[in-house]
């Protein structure tokens, strides 16, 4: 998808595809990497032909999947809240918010932008305390005429608009030897960086030869797993800053022990340094042991297109979100891989295609997506009822994170990214 145009004519998910005969490299079905209007442009070296600039009819057939949405039509007016969800604050950014993450202690929230910038805000006072920019990711966006400017402290304005998108953020736990706040960031260019936040200094962890789209860290922070466009997962040793293992399917045609398409979500088991899972476009969730090159088992079903896989606190259940209208939100048993239940849509029949979902305490989950642009909190056990929602958001909900409130254990803070805004929501379990 393009920023200023709805459809990329070379993307197989676009009704105007086929004019150039090449596939568009997309990030979460949104960014066209060959379009001059896209912050992720340039990787194929050709210009994208947009719908409306040539003809309004595809050259052949319907798209192979349901047409993706860029977040649906932009809505007029403020978002509408209902039930137990309330908007506490809104943080505005100069570019689309691609990912967000709370710090482990819940005092900070970080958001990664489509222009390659990472902004970190304190929850107390909502002030921006750190702005992290990497010259390497900024210059991938547009290098024309900025060679001299990059040698100075000021960041070029054009680079701020057209840097390489930040695709995921992961805070690492603080240790006795590492006092500074450490943040792992992945970029659409394949760069994986380890940031020392207070120093505003980035150490390259890897330069992957693919579009890196997601990352997760083990409970101790010793290991980081990344996934992306080539269907492989890479495990990094944070201490040595080296690649420990590449996980991919075997050559056997009789077993599916890896992914056959892009990976958009990776999630580490909350009580294990060795086990994690991943999901993506191939409609499978793969279970991995970081010591083995192929997955140990898999389950079939979820069509994952964002950060929509999440273990519960015990690691016994998995919440999955799928970019589709039916069976979009599901709960699975992590031990057997069997489906526990489907979460029904809203009572009024509204069905969002899910890009992001998270557990929210015992028996509650929060999910968000597009068409319509909304997020909701739902009971996942007995009633399966929606307890609160936010609708009429300015764009699709592409990322969600959750932390407990510092003032009450029964109140959660929810970060919801939509368009160029990060909404901080409060949800009280007592009210639910």
Contact predicate 33/45, CB 8 Å: no
| % pLDDT > 70, the chain | 73
* Residue-range definition of the domain harbouring residue 23: 1-68
User: What whole-number percentage of the chain has pLDDT above 90?
Assistant: 64
Domain count, the chain: 2
Residues 235, 226: Cα–Cα separation, whole Å: 7
DSSP state at residue 326: S
Q: In this predicted structure, what is the pLDDT of residue 74?
A: 53
In order of 204, 261, 335, 406, the CA distances from 247 in angstroms are 21, 13, 21, 38
The length of the chain, given as a count of residues:
432
Please tell me which residue, 331 or 41, carries the higher pLDDT value: 331
Rounded distance, CA 323 to CA 30, Å? 13
Residues 169 and 46 in one domain: no
pLDDT for position 410: 62
Q: Does the structure show a pLDDT above 50 at 199?
A: yes
Report cis status (omega within 30 of 0) of the bond before 104. Answer: no
How many Å apart are CA 174 and CA 181, to the nearest integer?
Answer: 7
User: Could you tell me if 62 and 87 lie in one domain?
Assistant: no
Is the predicted pLDDT of residue 168 greater than 60, yes or no?
A: yes
User: Mean of the pLDDT values across residues 76-81?
Assistant: 85
Any idea which of 112-116, 172-176, 182-186 has the lowest mean pLDDT? 172-176
216 has a pLDDT exceeding 60:
yes
Of 66-75, 272-281, 308-317, the poorest mean pLDDT is in 66-75
- Token pair for 283: 């409609």
Place of tokens 């997020």: 375
At residue 148, the pLDDT reads 27
Q: What is the CATH number of the domain that holds 167?
A: 2.130.10.10
Q: Are residues 34 and 153 in the same domain?
A: no
> Measured between alpha carbons, how far is residue 372 from residues 40, 86, 183, 349, 368 in Å?
25, 19, 32, 11, 9
C-beta of residue 374 within 8 angstroms of C-beta of residue 416: no
Q: What is the pLDDT of residues 79-124, one digit of tens each?
A: 999 999 999 999 999 999 999 999 999 999 999 999 999 999 999 8
Least-confidence region, from 275-279, 300-304, 328-332, 361-365: 361-365
pLDDT (mean) for 312-338: 95
Query: Which residue, chain included where needed, has tokens 């689309």?
Result: 96
- Classify residue 75: in a domain, yes or no: no
At 140, is the pLDDT very low, low, confident or very high (cuts 50, 70, 90)? low
pTM above 0.85, yes or no: no
pLDDT for 302 equals 97
Same domain, 128 and 36: no
Q: HSE-up of 218 (CA within 13 Å, CB side)?
A: 17
3 and 123 housed in the same domain: no
Point out the domain boundary residue: 68, 95, 127: 68
- Between 246-255, 264-273, 405-414, the lowest mean confidence (pLDDT) is in 405-414
Distances in whole angstroms, Cα of residue 112 to Cα of each of 119, 192, 197, 292, 309: 7, 13, 14, 31, 19
Q: Indicate whether 41 belongs to any domain.
A: yes
Name which of 270, 298, 287 is nearest 358 in CA terms: 270
Look at residue 198 and tell me whether its pLDDT is greater than 50. Answer: yes
Q: What is the mean pLDDT of residues 150-178?
A: 66
- Residue 165, Cβ density class (10 Å: 0-12 exposed, 13-18 middle, ≥19 buried): buried
What is the average pLDDT across 148-162?
37
Instruction: Name which of 96-105, 221-230, 251-260, 344-353 the model is least confident about.
Output: 344-353
Query: For residue 73, is it within any domain?
Result: no
298 and 197 assigned to the same domain: yes
* pLDDT band at 179; cut points 50, 70, 90: confident
Question: Does residue 229 contact residue 213 with C-beta atoms inside 8 Å?
Answer: yes
CA 281 vs CA 38, 259, 361, 420: distances in Å: 22, 9, 28, 26
CB 39 within 8 A of CB 95: yes
Q: What average pLDDT is seen over the chain?
A: 79
Nearest to 115 by CA among 99, 96, 128: 96
348: Cβ contacts below 8 Å, ≥ 6 apart:
none
Q: Considering only CA atoms, which of 100, 75, 104, 27 is closest in space to residue 366?
A: 100
Co-location of 378 and 249 in the same domain: yes
Tell me the pLDDT tens digit for each residue of 341-350: 999 987 666 7
Q: Which of 23, 43, 68 is the last residue of a domain?
A: 68
Torsion of CA 232, 237, 242, 245, to 10 degrees: -30
Choose the final residue of a domain: 41, 68, 95: 68
Banded model confidence at residue 405, pLDDT cuts 50, 70, 90: low
Per residue in 350-370, pLDDT (tens digit) is 788 999 999 998 789 999 999
My answer on whether 190 and 44 are in the same domain is: no
143 plus 186 within the same structural domain: yes
């Amino acid at each position: 998808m393009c920023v200023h145009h709805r459809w990329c004519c070379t993307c197989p998910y676009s009704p105007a595809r086929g004019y150039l005969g090449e596939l568009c490299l997309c990030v979460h079905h949104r960014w066209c990497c060959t379009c001059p209007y896209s912050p992720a442009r340039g990787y194929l070296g050709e210009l994208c032909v947009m719908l409306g600039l040539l003809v309004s009819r595809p050259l052949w057939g319907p798209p192979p999947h349901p047409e993706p949405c860029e977040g649906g039509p932009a809505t007029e007016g403020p978002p509408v809240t209902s039930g137990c969800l309330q908007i506490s604050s809104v943080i505005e950014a100069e570019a689309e918010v691609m990912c967000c993450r709370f710090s482990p202690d819940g005092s900070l929230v970080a958001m990664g932008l489509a222009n390659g910038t990472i902004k970190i805000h304190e929850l107390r006072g909502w002030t921006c305390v750190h702005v992290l920019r990497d010259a390497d990711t900024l210059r991938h966006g547009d290098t024309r005429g900025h060679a001299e400017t990059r040698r100075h402290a000021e960041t070029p304005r054009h680079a701020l608009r057209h840097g390489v998108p930040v695709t995921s953020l992961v805070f690492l736990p603080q240790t006795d030897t590492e006092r500074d706040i450490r943040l792992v960031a992945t970029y659409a260019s394949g760069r994986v960086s380890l940031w020392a936040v207070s120093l505003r200094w980035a150490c390259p962890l890897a330069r992957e030869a693919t579009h890196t789209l997601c990352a997760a860290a083990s409970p101790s922070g010793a290991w980081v797993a990344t996934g992306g466009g080539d269907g492989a997962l890479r495990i990094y040793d944070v201490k040595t800053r080296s690649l420990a293992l590449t996980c991919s399917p075997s050559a056997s045609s009789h077993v599916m022990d890896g992914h056959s398409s892009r990976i958009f979500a990776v999630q580490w088991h909350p009580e294990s340094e060795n086990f994690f899972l991943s999901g993506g476009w191939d409609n499978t969730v793969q279970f991995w042991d970081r010591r083995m090159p192929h997955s140990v088992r898999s389950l079939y079903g979820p069509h994952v297109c964002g950060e929509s896989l999440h273990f519960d606190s015990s690691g016994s259940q998995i919440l999955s979100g799928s970019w589709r209208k039916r069976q979009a939100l599901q709960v699975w048993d992590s031990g057997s891989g069997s489906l526990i239940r489907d979460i029904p849509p809203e009572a009024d029949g509204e069905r969002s295609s899910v890009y992001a979902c998270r557990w929210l305490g015992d028996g509650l989950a929060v999910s968000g997506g597009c068409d319509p642009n909304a997020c909701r909190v739902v009971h996942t056990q007995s009633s399966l009822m929606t307890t609160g929602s936010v609708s009429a958001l300015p764009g699709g909900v592409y990322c969600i994170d959750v932390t407990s409130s510092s003032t009450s254990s029964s109140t959660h803070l929810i970060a919801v990214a939509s368009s160029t805004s990060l909404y901080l929501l409060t949800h009280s379990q007592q009210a639910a």
